[in-house]
């Protein structure tokens, strides 16, 4: 029996369990690219408009931060790729990460893999099966993406290159997730490591592209976008992606061979004999359970904000050095730095709602694991159980937003010596709280009334993310775009804070939370 015996059976199991999830990922990524291609063809229908677009994005630091260095933006296909590939690269990477961790460490943590390992299944079979499915899924994403681009009239070769870059990123992050899954004994820890690496790679690429420095080339996203589809196509940049994937896969195999089933790399140490005083409360327990989640997101987003803050001055200098850009921004109102900060703030606020959603969904996770039952059999009422947990979610959200504002403002002050924006940046970040909490409210509502459909909470997050990324390009009608709470809030510091929209969104958020809470009080607890 070899160490991968049984892998084909496990592949079938993975496919059976993900028969809905996987097609949703594939079609979702393809649909986003297809919709963008259509929108681009509708918006930029004259050579003048295309030239105008090229001039705008070349001068916009915010666009560089999000989408990378403009390549071939003088063609419709180049614009399509430039506009849509950020969503696609992040989506394909996260698809691989979730898929691999779900079928490796999560299986091991729940003990299900023990049952499988007792049959004729080799040590590396689970990793091989999960990575194989992720590779096939990534190839499909690449083919579908290329197919959609060709269908909208793009050249075949460039379309294939763009598809191939997506495929290679999917493969790379499948390998990264496989290695991460060996490190911690919990699936959440593995997701944190692998997801954190996706985030770090993305942030490095963004910073490198804003300041046009070497950081771009430290990030795999920089390599993928550096292939320049529809420009001077550079296929060879796919090689380092695959080489790095092989390296991580080797690491995963080496780590698996060295550790016991179920264990992480670090042996568990003895803990406290007695519980701290605050642990006997619902919020105390929730805080303890979500400590890692909260600290992870807080650190990641604060560091990201700090890095973005440190490039603020460069953005100003870049514009000042360029007479054409200066003229352009003077027409726009001159607030190039404010525009950059406003963009970063609203983007990070959207990302913060991912923390909020995972934090709120912990209620359901506790229920599914049977731990809510043990708690609710004590003197703890359902209401206090839910409110204790949501208190951690809400306060955590506010803290993260505050850290984002401070991180942005403090590093900007350090680099430029200008500490004036600090207060308005901190306030501007916290002013996004109602929108974050409205998205969290959707998650609470789902937990309260449709506990089996927690994926809907992530669909709500995916929608606000897409709306903030592609909403402008897709030119969504106000009724659709307005479903995103972020759409209603003024964007500080470019716009002034107004009470009415913030209050309205806050009231809606509170109503969603309250309705969810009612659901949790009247329904059966699993």
Partner 1 sequence: MTNAVQLDGVVKSFGATRALDGLDLHVTSGEVHGFLGPNGAGKSTAMRVLLGLIRADGGRAILLGGDPWTEAAHLHRRLAYVPGDVNLWPTLTGGEVIDLLGRMRGGLDEARRRQLLERFELDPRKKARTYSKGNRQKVALVAAFSSEVELYLLDEPTSGLDPLMEAAFQECVLEAKRRGATVLLSSHILAEVEALCDRVSIVRGGHTAQSGTLSELRQLTRTTVVAETSRPVPAIRQVAGVHRPEFQDGRVTFDVDSSHLAEAVRVLSEAGITALTAHPPTLEELFLRQYGEQIAS
Binding site for partner 1 (CB under 8 A): 109, 185-186, 268, 270-276, 279-282, 285, 288-289, 369-371, 373-382, 384, 522, 524-525
- Cα–Cα distances (Å) from 508 to 363, 453, 514, in that order, read 21, 21, 10
Q: Which is nearer to partner 1, 120 or 369 (CB)?
A: 369
Q: Which is nearer to partner 1, 95 or 286 (CB)?
A: 286
Q: What is the signed CA dihedral for 118, 121, 126, 129, rounded to 10 degrees? A: -150
Phi-psi region of 495 (alpha: psi -120 to 50; beta: other; left: phi over 0): beta
Instruction: Give the residue among 343, 355, 362, 332 at the shortest CA–CA distance from 451.
Output: 362
In whole angstroms, how close is the CB of 272 to partner 1 at the nearest point?
A: 6
- Cα–Cα distances (Å) from 407 to 70, 152, 162, 195, in that order, read 28, 42, 35, 21
In whole angstroms, how close is the CB of 288 to partner 1 at the nearest point?
A: 7
Specify whether the CB–CB gap between 137 and 99 falls below 8 A.
yes
Q: Which is nearer to partner 1, 455 or 525 (CB)?
A: 525
Q: Can you tell me which residue has the tokens 């913030």?
A: 502
Q: Which is nearer to partner 1, 266 or 479 (CB)?
A: 266
Q: Which is nearer to partner 1, 83 or 367 (CB)?
A: 367
Please tell me the distance from the alpha carbon of residue 235 to that of residue 142, in angstroms, as a whole number: 14
In whole angstroms, how close is the CB of 16 to partner 1 at the nearest point?
A: 23
Here the tokens at position 479 are: 């009724």
Q: How far out from the chain centre does Cα 234 lie? A: 27
In whole angstroms, how close is the CB of 208 to partner 1 at the nearest point?
A: 37
Q: Which is nearer to partner 1, 155 or 185 (CB)?
A: 185
In whole angstroms, how close is the CB of 301 to partner 1 at the nearest point?
A: 23
Q: Which is nearer to partner 1, 1 or 268 (CB)?
A: 268
In whole angstroms, how close is the CB of 369 to partner 1 at the nearest point?
A: 5
Instruction: Give the residue among 438, 435, 439 at the shortest CA–CA distance from 487.
Output: 435
In whole angstroms, how close is the CB of 395 to partner 1 at the nearest point?
A: 20
Scanning 259-311, the segments in alpha helix (DSSP H) are: 282-289, 291-310
Q: Which is nearer to partner 1, 331 or 524 (CB)?
A: 524
Please tell me the distance from the alpha carbon of residue 302 to that of residue 402, in angstroms, as a whole number: 9
In whole angstroms, how close is the CB of 292 to partner 1 at the nearest point?
A: 8
Measured N-to-C along each axis, helices 187-210 and 291-310 cross at an angle, to the nearest 10 degrees, of: 10
In whole angstroms, how close is the CB of 444 to partner 1 at the nearest point?
A: 20
Please tell me the distance from the alpha carbon of residue 431 to that of residue 108, in angstroms, as a whole number: 41
Q: Which is nearer to partner 1, 20 or 377 (CB)?
A: 377
The answer, yes or no, to whether the previous bond of 302 is cis (omega within 30 of 0) is no
């Amino acid at each position: 029996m070899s160490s991968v015996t049984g892998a084909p059976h496990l592949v079938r199991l993975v496919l059976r369990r993900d028969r809905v999830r996987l097609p949703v990922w594939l079609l979702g990524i393809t649909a986003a690219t297809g919709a963008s291609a259509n929108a681009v063809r509708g918006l930029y229908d004259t050579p003048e408009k295309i030239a105008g677009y090229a001039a705008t994005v070349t001068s916009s630091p915010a666009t560089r931060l999000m989408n990378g260095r403009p390549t071939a933006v003088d063609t419709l296909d180049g614009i399509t790729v430039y506009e849509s590939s950020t969503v696609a690269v992040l989506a394909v990477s996260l698809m691989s990460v979730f898929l691999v961790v779900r079928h490796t460490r999560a299986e091991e943590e729940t003990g299900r893999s023990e049952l499988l390992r007792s049959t004729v299944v080799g040590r590396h079979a689970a990793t091989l099966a999960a990575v194989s499915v992720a590779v096939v899924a990534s190839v499909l994403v690449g083919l579908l993406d290329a197919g959609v681009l060709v269908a909208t009239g793009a050249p075949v070769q460039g379309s294939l290159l763009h598809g191939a870059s997506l495929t290679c990123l999917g493969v790379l992050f499948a390998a990264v997730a496989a290695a991460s899954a060996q490190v911690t004994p919990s699936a959440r820890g593995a997701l944190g490591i692998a997801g954190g690496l996706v985030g770090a790679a993305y942030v490095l690429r963004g910073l490198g592209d804003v300041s046009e420095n070497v950081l771009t080339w430290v990030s795999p996203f920089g390599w993928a976008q550096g292939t320049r589809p529809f420009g001077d196509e550079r296929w060879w940049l796919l090689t380092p992606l695959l080489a790095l994937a092989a390296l991580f896969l080797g690491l995963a195999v080496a780590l698996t061979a060295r550790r016991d089933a179920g264990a992480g790399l670090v042996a568990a140490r003895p803990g406290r004999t007695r519980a701290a005083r605050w642990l006997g409360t619902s919020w105390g327990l929730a805080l303890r359970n979500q400590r890692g989640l909260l600290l992870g997101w807080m650190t990641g987003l604060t560091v990201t904000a700090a890095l973005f803050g440190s490039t603020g001055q460069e953005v100003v200098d870049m514009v000042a050095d360029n007479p054409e850009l200066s003229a352009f921004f003077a027409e726009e109102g001159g607030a190039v730095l404010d525009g950059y900060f406003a963009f970063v703030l609203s983007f990070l606020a959207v990302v913060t709602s991912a923390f909020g959603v995972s934090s709120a969904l912990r209620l359901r996770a506790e229920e599914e694991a049977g731990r809510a039952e043990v708690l609710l059999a004590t003197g703890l009422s359902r209401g206090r159980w839910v409110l204790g947990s949501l208190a951690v979610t809400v306060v955590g959200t506010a803290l993260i937003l505050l850290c984002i504002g401070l991180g942005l403002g403090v590093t900007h002050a350090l680099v430029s010596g200008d500490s004036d924006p600090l207060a308005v940046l901190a306030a501007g970040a916290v002013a996004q709280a109602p929108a974050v909490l409205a998205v969290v409210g959707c998650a609470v509502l789902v937990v309260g009334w449709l506990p089996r459909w927690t994926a809907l909470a992530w669909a709500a997050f995916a929608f606000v993310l897409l709306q903030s990324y592609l909403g402008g390009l897709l030119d969504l009608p106000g009724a659709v775009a307005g479903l995103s709470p972020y759409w209603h809030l003024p964007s500080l510091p470019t716009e002034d804070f107004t009470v009415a929209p913030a209050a309205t969104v806050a009231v809606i958020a509170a109503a969603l939370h309250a309705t969810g809470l009612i659901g949790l009080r009247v329904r059966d607890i699993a």
